[in-house]
């Protein structure tokens, strides 16, 4: 009967929302992108080796108890038995007690519902009602609110957990990190874990056993090693504090991303931050709505409405309405709840005491509000307990480069290697956290996934247990993120002879694969490329190295002189500069491959690719730097922001409100596009629409004339999102 009623009474709304209902979700690209993001978020690989599975019986002797499995940040699994009608708070308390964590306000328990939407466990509601998918309930202990000022975290243990969470985020790619920052962070991690760098005991190869970045290369590891030596004398606690202080300046630090669709159907993302809501188009920032300026944040079914006021030059206030669409109503509600909680945590001093209004029975709409302590309360609680000890877990280790290299030389024949490589492709696919299969598998079997096997037994374990990284792949795909590995070609400053050879060999193999379309190949090159193709999805750098070593060994066997022997490579490397200068004109095209004869082709192609990559990467880097500078949250108001943030948490109310408002005023430049765009925006049927242009919502310093175009583009995008009617 209820279904009948629902159908009859909501038929009209159903028809309107049919195009966007959740049944369609699986086929659409936005949903898949969201799922990929969620895979990263939820099923992220653990950074440290966890302890044993812990069992907490908290249900007394009752027979009908529910079991919750919580995966902690350090990788350990905690099984908690609770009474049937326990609330989220009970589970949370058990976990806090087990961890001995006092500053629990920053953390939360997350679970996935059957539609692959992540939810935070509500402390006030019963667990059974929230997690509808049957027991055992799988939850993930994560940082819910990334503290805007990590120095305000009282306890070292809290900071340690934050470091673990951030390391996980960086590894999964959720937190994008430029090259030098990730090098420094890796060095801090090593300093914290292994202490001072002792060249007698620790070598660069040791660094390769760790995973710090999804695009880890040997060059990066060497840099990390050097940086690590610089941090001599730092204690683990100090290293972690520095780690957090470095991380907090990253653009995407603490940004809670949710993927949405705009009114124009394009893919956007909303990021929740302590200062406001960021709007991303694809992966570039196009707007920031400050919390004080957002007057309404509503959701209805799967549409989220944002009403923002802006002051234009004349001091008038104008309202702008933005509507975003999500792939399901659950996701929409989740985003709305996250936004509500985020705002309350970061912006309010105490959670709102929801006065039960007279229309409590007949109210429409969720009553959800943030329950818990806000950041202000958390940092001003004042209760600091005597120093408590905790154990830092060792990081997860993977086979180092030398080991996989050594293992590969023994079965030296090429076809054997390709056979060895192909089974590695399968585990790689599992190594990317695939939430779908994982989720379907979870409720049956054990949840410690075989993906994260600790490869302590180094006997015959093939390298693909390792986390996906590939110098070959990085050189191919890292133009946008990591320019250093490409520019690493120009650096020949390796001290370790083994690395030099490896690096050079890697380069020769990677470059031709990426850039060269070689029509006529020798047999070796053919096989090499073919094996590279096979290993295309296999990201471990070591199989590539295996091939290279093989090539070197096979060289005396065949008379086809591909210059892959180390001696020839050395010589070629020395002549890098000269070759590049001669071929810089012809090197601009990517596909430029075979110039010259066979013997020359190899070095020339790599040179071409090198120069072409250098040429191509330079303008893209410049453009990106320009965009980043313009779009960057940190650069233009970098100095203002920490003061404001510090002011929020430590200063008095008057000071706080004035500094906040001054910050708001400061960072909203009243720049508007020329009014010629106004006629495009006029809609005849909307009384709400003001024909003035969309205000410039971004706090960017004005730059050169080229920034005008970019601003126009951004405003066009914002205008496209602007909704005048629901």
Partner 1 sequence: MSKESASGPLLAAAVALLVLVVVVFSCVFRKRRQMEGSYQPSAEEQKQARNQRPEKPGLALPLPKEERLI
Q: Which is nearer to partner 1, 387 or 652 (CB)?
A: 652
492 lines the binding site for partner 1 (CB under 8 A): no
301 lines the binding site for partner 1 (CB under 8 A): yes
Tell me how far, at minimum, the Cβ of 31 lies from partner 1, in Å.
19
Q: Which is nearer to partner 1, 285 or 301 (CB)?
A: 301
344 lines the binding site for partner 1 (CB under 8 A): yes
Q: Which is nearer to partner 1, 211 or 337 (CB)?
A: 337
Tell me how far, at minimum, the Cβ of 348 lies from partner 1, in Å.
5
Residues in a beta bridge with 311 = 317
297 lines the binding site for partner 1 (CB under 8 A): yes
Residues in a beta bridge with 142 = 108
Q: Which is nearer to partner 1, 493 or 652 (CB)?
A: 652
Tell me how far, at minimum, the Cβ of 203 lies from partner 1, in Å.
53
Q: Which is nearer to partner 1, 291 or 428 (CB)?
A: 291
Contacts of 120 (CB under 8 A, 6+ apart): 108, 109, 110, 144, 337, 338, 341
Q: Which is nearer to partner 1, 317 or 725 (CB)?
A: 317
Q: Which is nearer to partner 1, 36 or 309 (CB)?
A: 309
Q: Which is nearer to partner 1, 101 or 297 (CB)?
A: 297
Q: What angle do CA 718, 720, 723 make, to 5 degrees?
A: 95
Q: Which is nearer to partner 1, 9 or 97 (CB)?
A: 9
Choose the binding region for partner 1 from 139-147, 285-293, 552-560, 579-587 (rule: CB under 8 A).
Answer: 285-293
Among 343, 546, 572, 696, binds partner 1 (CB under 8 A): 343
- What's CA 323's distance to the chain center, in Å? 26
Among 87, 347, 465, 555, binds partner 1 (CB under 8 A): 347
Tell me how far, at minimum, the Cβ of 280 lies from partner 1, in Å.
20
Choose the binding region for partner 1 from 235-243, 286-294, 462-470, 624-632 (rule: CB under 8 A).
Answer: 286-294
Tell me how far, at minimum, the Cβ of 657 lies from partner 1, in Å.
6
Per DSSP, 309 falls in state: E
The count of residues interacting with partner 1 (CB under 8 A) is: 42
Q: Which is nearer to partner 1, 160 or 299 (CB)?
A: 299
Contacts of 140 (CB under 8 A, 6+ apart): 42, 70, 71, 109, 110, 111
Q: Which is nearer to partner 1, 59 or 348 (CB)?
A: 348
The answer to whether 264 and 721 have CB atoms below 8 angstroms apart is yes
Tell me how far, at minimum, the Cβ of 308 lies from partner 1, in Å.
9
Q: Quick one: tokens of 463?
A: 């390298």
2 lines the binding site for partner 1 (CB under 8 A): yes
Distance CA 425, CA 429 (A): 6
352 lines the binding site for partner 1 (CB under 8 A): yes
Residues 364-393 binding partner 1 (CB under 8 A) are 364-368
Choose the binding region for partner 1 from 296-304, 425-433, 478-486, 683-691 (rule: CB under 8 A).
Answer: 296-304
Q: Which is nearer to partner 1, 352 or 558 (CB)?
A: 352
Choose the binding region for partner 1 from 117-125, 138-146, 339-347, 443-451 (rule: CB under 8 A).
Answer: 339-347
Among 296, 413, 530, 625, binds partner 1 (CB under 8 A): 296
- Tell which residue, 231, 150, 322, has the closest CA to residue 688: 322
Q: Which is nearer to partner 1, 5 or 384 (CB)?
A: 5
Residues 638-667 binding partner 1 (CB under 8 A) are 652-654, 657
Q: Where are the alpha helices (DSSP H) in 583-705?
A: 598-631, 633-636, 640-650, 653-666, 678-681
Count Cβ neighbours within 10 Å for each residue of 123-136 and write b for 16 or more, e otherwise: beebbbebbeeeeb
For the chain, give the longest Cα–Cα distance.
92
The answer to whether 692 and 318 have CB atoms below 8 angstroms apart is yes
Residue 510 to residues 283, 540, 602, 611, Cα–Cα distance (Å): 27, 12, 12, 14
Among 6, 84, 530, 625, binds partner 1 (CB under 8 A): 6
Residue 517 to residues 474, 505, 591, 600, 645, Cα–Cα distance (Å): 19, 19, 6, 15, 52
Residues 318-337 binding partner 1 (CB under 8 A) are 329, 333, 336-337
Among 11, 129, 349, 443, binds partner 1 (CB under 8 A): 349
Q: Quick one: tokens of 484?
A: 């250093």
Residues in a beta bridge with 82 = 66
Q: Residue 76 region, left (φ>0) first, then alpha (ψ -120 to 50), else beta?
A: beta
Distance CA 563, CA 708 (A): 50
446 lines the binding site for partner 1 (CB under 8 A): no
Tell me how far, at minimum, the Cβ of 36 lies from partner 1, in Å.
27
Distance CA 249, CA 635 (A): 10
Choose the binding region for partner 1 from 67-75, 152-160, 226-234, 294-302 (rule: CB under 8 A).
Answer: 294-302
The answer to whether 217 and 485 have CB atoms below 8 angstroms apart is yes
362 lines the binding site for partner 1 (CB under 8 A): yes
DSSP string, 262-307: -TTS-EEEEEE-SSEEEEEETTEEEEEEEGGGEEEEEEETTEEEEE
452 lines the binding site for partner 1 (CB under 8 A): no
Q: Residue 233 region, left (φ>0) first, then alpha (ψ -120 to 50), else beta?
A: left
Choose the binding region for partner 1 from 248-256, 356-364, 445-453, 552-560 (rule: CB under 8 A).
Answer: 356-364
Contacts of 539 (CB under 8 A, 6+ apart): 428, 468, 469, 470, 472, 473
Choose the binding region for partner 1 from 234-242, 341-349, 540-548, 576-584 (rule: CB under 8 A).
Answer: 341-349
Q: Quick one: tokens of 274?
A: 């302590």
Among 340, 435, 504, 667, binds partner 1 (CB under 8 A): 340
294 lines the binding site for partner 1 (CB under 8 A): yes
Tell me how far, at minimum, the Cβ of 121 lies from partner 1, in Å.
18
625 lines the binding site for partner 1 (CB under 8 A): no
DSSP string, 151-176: GG---HHHHHHHHHHHHHHHHHTSS-
Q: Which is nearer to partner 1, 334 or 714 (CB)?
A: 334
Among 7, 10, 32, 492, binds partner 1 (CB under 8 A): 10
Among 266, 292, 411, 566, binds partner 1 (CB under 8 A): 292
23 lines the binding site for partner 1 (CB under 8 A): no
Distance CA 618, CA 51 (A): 46
Distance CA 658, CA 430 (A): 52
Tell me how far, at minimum, the Cβ of 18 lies from partner 1, in Å.
15
Tell me how far, at minimum, the Cβ of 343 lies from partner 1, in Å.
5
Tell me how far, at minimum, the Cβ of 669 lies from partner 1, in Å.
21
Sort 398 into a burial class: Cβ within 10 Å, 0-12 / 13-18 / 19+. Answer: buried
Residue 217: is the preceding peptide bond cis (ω within 30°)?
Answer: no
263 lines the binding site for partner 1 (CB under 8 A): no
Residues 541-560 binding partner 1 (CB under 8 A) are none
Tell me how far, at minimum, the Cβ of 351 lies from partner 1, in Å.
10
Q: Where are the alpha helices (DSSP H) in 632-683?
A: 633-636, 640-650, 653-666, 678-681
Residues in a beta bridge with 278 = 271, 288
In the complex, the residues that contact partner 1 under the rule CB under 8 A are 2, 5-6, 9-10, 291-301, 309, 329, 333, 336-337, 339-340, 343-344, 347-350, 352, 361-368, 652-654, 657
């Amino acid at each position: 009967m209820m279904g009948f009623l629902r159908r009859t009474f909501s038929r009209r709304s159903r028809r309107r929302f049919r195009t966007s209902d959740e049944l369609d979700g699986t086929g659409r690209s936005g949903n898949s992108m969201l799922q990929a993001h969620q895979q990263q978020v939820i099923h992220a690989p653990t950074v440290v080796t966890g302890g044993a599975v812990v069992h907490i019986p908290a249900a007394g002797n009752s027979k009908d108890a529910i079991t919750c499995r919580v995966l902690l940040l350090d990788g350990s699994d905690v099984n908690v038995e609770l009474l049937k009608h326990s609330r989220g708070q009970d589970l949370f308390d058990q976990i806090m007690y087990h961890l001995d964590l006092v500053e629990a306000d920053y953390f939360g328990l997350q679970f996935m519902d059957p539609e692959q939407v992540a939810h935070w466990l509500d402390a006030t509601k019963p667990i059974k009602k929230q997690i509808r998918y049957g027991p055992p309930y799988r939850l993930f202990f994560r940082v819910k609110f990334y503290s805007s000022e990590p120095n305000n975290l009282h306890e070292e243990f809290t900071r340690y957990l934050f470091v673990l969470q951030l390391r996980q985020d960086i590894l999964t790619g959720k937190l994008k990190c430029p090259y030098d920052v990730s090098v420094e962070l890796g060095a801090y991690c090593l300093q914290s874990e292994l202490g001072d760098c002792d060249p007698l005991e620790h070598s660069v190869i040791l660094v390769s056993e760790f995973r710090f970045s999804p695009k880890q290369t040997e060059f990066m590891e060497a840099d990390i090693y050097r940086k690590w030596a610089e941090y001599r004398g730092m204690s683990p606690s100090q290293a972690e504090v520095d780690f957090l202080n470095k991380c907090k300046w990253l653009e995407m630090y603490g940004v809670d991303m949710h993927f949405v669709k705009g009114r124009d159907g394009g893919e956007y993302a909303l990021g929740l931050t302590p200062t406001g809501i960021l709007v991303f188009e694809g992966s570039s920032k196009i707007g920031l709505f400050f919390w004080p300026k957002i007057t309404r944040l509503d959701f209805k079914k799967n549409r989220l409405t944002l009403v923002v006021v802006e002051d234009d030059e004349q001091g008038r206030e104008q309202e702008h309405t933005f509507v975003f669409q999500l792939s399901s109503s659950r996701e929409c509600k989740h985003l709305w709840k996250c936004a509500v909680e985020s705002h309350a945590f970061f912006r309010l001093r105490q959670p709102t005491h929801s006065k039960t209004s007279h229309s409590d029975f007949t109210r429409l709409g969720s009553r959800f509000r943030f329950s818990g302590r806000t950041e202000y309360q958390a940092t001003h609680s004042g209760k600091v307990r005597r120093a408590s000890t905790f154990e830092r877990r060792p990081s997860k280790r993977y086979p180092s480069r030398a080991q996989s290299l050594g293992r590969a030389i023994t079965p030296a024949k090429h076809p054997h290697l390709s056979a060895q490589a192909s089974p590695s492709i399968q585990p790689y696919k599992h190594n990317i956290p695939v939430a779908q299969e994982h989720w379907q598998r979870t409720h049956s079997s054990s949840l410690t996934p075989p993906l994260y096997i600790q490869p302590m037994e180094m006997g015959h374990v093939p390298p693909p247990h390792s986390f996906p990284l590939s110098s070959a792949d990085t050189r191919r795909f890292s133009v946008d993120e990591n320019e250093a590995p490409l520019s690493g070609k120009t650096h020949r400053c390796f001290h370790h002879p083994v690395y030099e050879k490896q690096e050079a060999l890697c380069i020769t193999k990677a470059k031709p694969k990426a850039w060269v379309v070689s029509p006529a190949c020798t047999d070796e090159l053919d096989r090499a490329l073919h094996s590279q193709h096979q290993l295309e999805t296999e990201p471990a750098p070591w199989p590539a190295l295996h091939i290279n070593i093989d090539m070197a060994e096979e060289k005396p066997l065949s008379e086809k002189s591909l210059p892959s022997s180390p001696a020839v490579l050395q010589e070629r490397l020395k002549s890098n500069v000269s070759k590049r200068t001669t071929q810089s004109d012809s090197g601009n095209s990517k596909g430029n491959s075979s110039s010259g004869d066979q013997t020359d082709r190899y070095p020339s192609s790599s040179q071409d690719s090198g120069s072409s990559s250098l040429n191509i990467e330079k303008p893209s880097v410049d453009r990106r730097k320009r965009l980043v500078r313009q779009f960057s949250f940190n650069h233009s108001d970098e100095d203002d922001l920490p003061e404001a943030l510090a002011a929020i948490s430590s200063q008095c109310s008057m000071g706080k409100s004035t500094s906040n408002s001054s910050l708001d005023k400061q960072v909203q430049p009243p720049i508007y596009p020329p009014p010629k765009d106004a006629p495009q925006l006029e809609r005849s049927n909307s009384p709400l629409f003001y024909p003035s242009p969309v205000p410039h919502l971004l706090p960017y310093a004005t730059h050169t004339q080229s920034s005008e175009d970019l601003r126009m583009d951004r405003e066009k995008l914002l205008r496209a999102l602007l909704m005048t009617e629901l």
